[in-house]
Structure 1
Amino acid sequence: MTAPVVLDFARDLAAVLAELRSDLVGVYLHGSAALGGFVPARSDVDILVVVEESSDAEGRRKLGEAIAAAARDCPGVGLELSVITAATARELGSCQYEVHVNTTGTEAAVVIGGDSDTDLILHCAVCRAHAVAVAGPPAEQVFGEVSRDRIVRATLDELDWALEHAPTTYAVLNACRALRFAVEGIQCSKVEAAGWYLERHPDNPVVLSALAAQRGDSAEPPGADEAKDFVRGVTSQLVSL
């Protein structure tokens, strides 16, 4: 169940977007808010916004700045949001976005689109299967199917990024989630994925440590070397499956 405070925030943001864009198609919650495992002290709010038409750079900038301003009271550690066109939601194509807004840092970041973002492969796949439609039609009517191979390739890129840039808890739990999808075709939260992994490997200390840190039961996340070894092991399994 999505936390009421997250739903209220997303609905308020959807109202702002509806005033800004007459071609708004929908606003979709994904990530931990939709999959479960949202922890206010550690989770961000993930949203995909779909509009019918692309706009010029100035229009994208104004839209991004308005979203950042509306996100000042975002629950959790902040907002991570991308605006994409309906065509991108259906087909992904080159994975271009209109604007990306991230308020999880000390200052809000507004990035004008134009470049491709392969993270959209994973975000759109999760949205199609699990998104909460805050505004607009059900997600399966907006987001096209994404092939298993494309999801796995994007997952491998995400795991490589996590090894270099993400906290060890995120990297380990995301690896569990990637492995479950590759084995069973099931998308789930990081916490649920850790539980799935531990059912098969009950004494794995790296996953146990990551899960405890994610839940707030322990302040000690997995060590960097142990996390890298675990993620690299999962990556090898993904390549061979």
Structure 2
Amino acid sequence: MPDRVLGHVEAIAATLVAGRLDLVGVYLHGSAVLGGFDPARSDVDVLAVVAGPEGESAQRRTGEAIAATGARCPGAGLELSVLTAATARELGDCPFEVHVNTTGAEPVIVPGAGAGGDPDLVLHAAVCREFGRAVLGPPPGEVFGRPPRQRILAAMVADLRWAIDGGHAAYAVLNACRAARFAEEGRICSKLDGAHWYLARHPDDATVTAALARHLGGGPGPSGERARAFVEGSGISGWAEQGG
């Protein structure tokens, strides 16, 4: 794990400790723990868990304090969600306290009060439970429940649709490989590991090869049309609808 990433998350944890007396833990997830972290392209992904909810103004103050650390982020930006211990255990409709994203020109702070749930938390929680690094608090397996297989597959499908519709072709292809491995083996892995797993079975697949090269910084990557065909041909949507 990159030392600068860990140091940055420790600073975020200190900020949260100062503002939330009910802080349960702070957990690093994403590529920093799964592998393949690239400071030029990778977000620093964090989940923070608190005992209970607060009102919108308090949520916004928490988000602003976190966003203020963004300039020191050792990656492409910070993506952090604060959620309650009940949500971490059970997910439910995936409510959150506040979401902070500093990957753009200006930080985005979304208080959870009055907002709908964030379905992305399903996959984030699954990664945290299995691979997350507790920067502060108890081990992640004691905090995060195990999301049902069907909910993980559905979250993966939703992410693939977002990527295809948003024109993120290489990202979609690599995540389709990752999703295919989970559907077949029940294992969550990084995008890179998913691509290598797929290519070990289909060594001549030009779409995955192009997506992997793009992710590693070389080549134009697959076209949107090729990416869509690959995702649709992966069968992941059917797995999610049928529950595996």
Interval of TM-score (by shorter of Structure 1 and Structure 2): over 0.9
SS at match of 1:84: strand
1:114-129 pair list within 5 angstroms: 114-129=115-130
**1:92 corresponds to which residue?**
91
Which range moves more in the overlay, 146-155 or 125-134? 146-155
**2:101 corresponds to which residue?**
102
Q: CA contact under 8 A between 1:44 and 1:77: conserved in structure 2?
A: yes
Q: CA contact under 8 A between 1:45 and 1:79: conserved in structure 2?
A: yes
Q: CA contact under 8 A between 1:179 and 1:238: conserved in structure 2?
A: no
**1:71 corresponds to which residue?**
70
Amino acid aligned to 2:4: V
| Inter-partner Cα distance in structure 2 for 1:222 and 1:156 | 19
SS at match of 2:68: helix
**1:40 corresponds to which residue?**
39
Normalised TM-score (structure 1): 0.96
**1:56 corresponds to which residue?**
55
Give 1:129 shift: 0.4
Q: CA contact under 8 A between 1:102 and 1:110: conserved in structure 2?
A: yes
Gaps of 5+ in 2: none
Q: Deviations over 1:177-226 (max 9, x none)?
A: 1110110011111001100000000011111011111112x141211111
Normalised TM-score (structure 2): 0.95
Residues paired across the two proteins, number? 239
1:221-236 pair list within 5 angstroms: 221-234=221-234, 235-236=236-237
Cα pair distance change 1:172/1:49, threshold 3 Å = same
Amino acid aligned to 1:160: R
Which range moves more in the overlay, 207-216 or 161-170? 161-170
How large is the Cα RMSD of the aligned pairs? 1.2
1:134-153 pair list within 5 angstroms: 134-153=135-154
Gaps of 5+ in 1: none
Q: CA contact under 8 A between 1:13 and 1:71: conserved in structure 2?
A: no
Give 1:124 shift: 0.4
